[in-house]
Each structure stands twice: as structure tokens, then as C-alpha cells.
Structure 1
Amino acid sequence: MPAFDPHIALYTLVNEYSARANAIRQDLARMHSAGFAEQAQQRQNDDVLQTLLAEAETGLRQVGLAKLRLAEGRYGLCLRCGEAISAARLQVMPAAECCLACADARER
């Protein structure tokens, strides 16, 4: 298994979130049907797509902040307690802002 490279991991995430956001924007830009029942269903689908787009854009912002921390030499340090975030957590969540203990405490 190759060593974890945060540059590559964050670059990959940017590409994934960007592709997802672009695909959703294309879906949202399509024309709606003339029929009322079909339009109602399409509007509900648009609401779901808007939520998915917001999640992708949030992911892009989080990755951007992680890239900034990387450039500043603060990548991998918990924003709450200042301790190191485990390598295993960063491999799973390259844009993680907090260590597992602080993330758990935040969710409570």
C-alpha cells in the first residue's frame, strides 16, 4: 500500500466534488415537462438535487480549508485541541478538521 499523500488525497477529493457538483448543476438546468404531475415530481427531484449540490459545495469548501492548512503546515492538527489527527482518520477523511475524540464530543 502506498504511503498516504495528503496532496493527492485532497486533489482527488476536489475532482470528485467538482464532478458531482457539475453533474448536479447540469441536471438542475434541464427543462421541466409541461404536464403538472410530471412537473411536481421534477420539482421534488430538484429539491433533492439542491441538497446534494449544497453537500458537494460544502465538501469543496472543506477541502479548500484543508489545502490551506496543508500549505500553512497545520494539516493533520485538530482545530479544537491541537493534537495530531490519526493517520488512519486522515486516510479515510483527508479534509478532517478534528481528531476522533473532539469529533465525537462535537456530535454529543
Structure 2
Amino acid sequence: MNNQTNNNSNGEYKKALQHLTQLQEELTQRLENLSADRSSSHSIDSSEQAVERENDEVVDQLENDTREELVQVQSAIKRIENGTYGICAKCEEEISPQRLQAIPYATLCIHCADA
């Protein structure tokens, strides 16, 4: 790899790290908000309680999805730190910059993801 390519990769990874760090902060804040929403008390009215419990299920699912995404983001940050970011976990080829822009925590190249 020549210096210019290496410098471009370093610049791209620096941008990716900034983006992932920002995303990590946003997801952490979202988890805090969801947790606060879930901890609010329920109404005394039984019909309202039924709706609130359904809402709790939605909040629980959102919380689970957010946690899963946060784990993926944190893993991507670790991959940047250890030098394996942007390498497909399956075929060990480079993941395209366009794919990493779209899904910054992608672990598979588009070919392996489609397989």
C-alpha cells in the first residue's frame, strides 16, 4: 500500500471513528430516554393501562434494538483501534468505503453479506 492510499485510509478511518463515536453517544442517550420512559408510572384506569403495557412492549423492543446497534458500533470502534476495520470477517477482503459509509459497523463486504 502506498503512502497516499494509506493516508486516505487513515483519513477515512478517522472520519469513521468520529461518526461511530457520535453514533455511540446518540444510542447511549436513546437508551437513557427509553429507560426513563419505561420507568414512568402507569395510569389507574385499566383501559389506559392496557395501552400503556402495549407501549411498554414497543419500548422494550426499541431498547433491545438500540442495545444491539450500540454493541455493533462499539465493536466497530474496537476494530478501528486494532486495525481490522474495513476488512470482511468472512473473506478478509476490503469492505468498500461506500458500504462503510452506509453501514459504518458493517463486518461483511457486500458480496459476503448477500451470500
Question: TM-score scaled to structure 2, two decimals?
Answer: 0.85
CA offset digits 1:50-104 (Å, max 9, x no partner): 0000011001100111111111100000111111110011111111111111111
RMSD, aligned α-carbons: 1.0
* Residue of structure 2 equivalent to 1:99: 109
Amino acid of the residue matched to residue 71 of structure 2?
Answer: R
From 26, 30, 51, the counterpart of 2:61: 51
Aligned residue type for 1:61: V
Q: Where does structure 1 differ by over 3 angstroms across 4 or more consecutive aligned residues?
A: none
Rg larger in 1 or in 2? Answer: 2
- The count of corresponding residues between Structure 1 and Structure 2 is 103
TM-score normalised by L of structure 1: 0.91
Identity %: 37
Structure 2: gaps spanning 5 or more residues: 1-10
